[in-house]
Amino acid sequence: MLVPFRTRAVEEGYPWEDIDPLPADEVDRWIGHVRPCAVLTSGADGPVAGAFGGPLLLPAEVPDPVYPYLASVDFAALPKDATDLPLPSDGLLLLFASLDEPDGEGNYGQAIYVPVGTPVEERDKNTWNGYPGDDHYQRIVDSYPQGELRARTEPDLPYHQLPGFPNADELVAVWCDTADRSGHLQVGGYADQEDSDPDPLERLASSAVREVRLGRWGGGEPVSGAVEDWVLLAHWNPSISGREGADVQWGIQRADLEARRFDRTFSTVYWNP
């Protein structure tokens, strides 16, 4: 994927957006920021490494989730070195997300880690039901994708401005065309959304700090507002009628990830209807 990206950027440009060929040295420096990520999609090649939907299986001591259940990821089934994150070598990551009229404020999801061998019980997936009588939103949740997810390792490049790159917007446009991802679940890599300037992780970290200050998240523990202390745990690009153009990010402080504090995952949603 990096070869066609470089070819397009340096030799062809991107005629669809009137982008002329870009300086080779700048393109190569941009490629120097590459990160590996695991891209999980339905109906693709690669090992089965999770699922959209399916039964919700949780340890008895874990409270009922307050957000709709989206997917599970089997860390042991991810390709070796699929990300540069300090992930557990095995166990399941369960992801939850709300797509209810996001306004850019607050937390919109959660992540739960279930280590291998942990006794679990099946839960009602509708315990989140925070919008009784809202048939429109219930239809959106009922439209969340279902089915097995297969994983492949791909490179990822930034979707936001970086200092020292006068053609960052053009580089992002060429990369998005080359990567051509949609409707996927991604572990690691860079946060991506329609408006990615600044880095969506900056907005996520800022929102987490605000929610802690207001006493609405974090259990009273402080969090860092510095984007370099955070990593992208997962990203979801929904392909759902009524939420076209939405992007969901799950971010976590690197120290919390290393400590397996997945309860400290913070989620944001960007939606431009």
Amino acid letter, residue 29: R
d(CA 98, CA 108): 5
d(CA 129, CA 120): 22
User: What is the pTM assigned to this prediction?
Assistant: 0.94
Predicted pLDDT of residue 103 = 63
CA separation, residue 95 to residues 67, 113, 147, 245, 253 (Å): 9, 9, 15, 20, 17
Local confidence pLDDT in tens for the 273 residues of the chain: 999 999 999 999 888 888 999 999 999 999 999 999 999 999 878 999 999 999 999 999 999 998 999 999 999 999 999 999 999 999 999 999 998 766 667 899 999 999 999 999 999 988 876 665 667 788 889 999 999 999 999 999 999 999 999 999 999 999 999 999 888 999 999 999 877 678 999 999 999 999 999 999 999 999 999 999 999 999 999 988 888 888 999 999 999 999 999 999 999 998 877
Please enumerate in sequence order all residues whose Cβ is within 8 A of that of 241, keeping only pairs 6 or more positions apart, or say none.
143
d(CA 255, CA 260): 9
Predicted pLDDT of residue 131 = 60
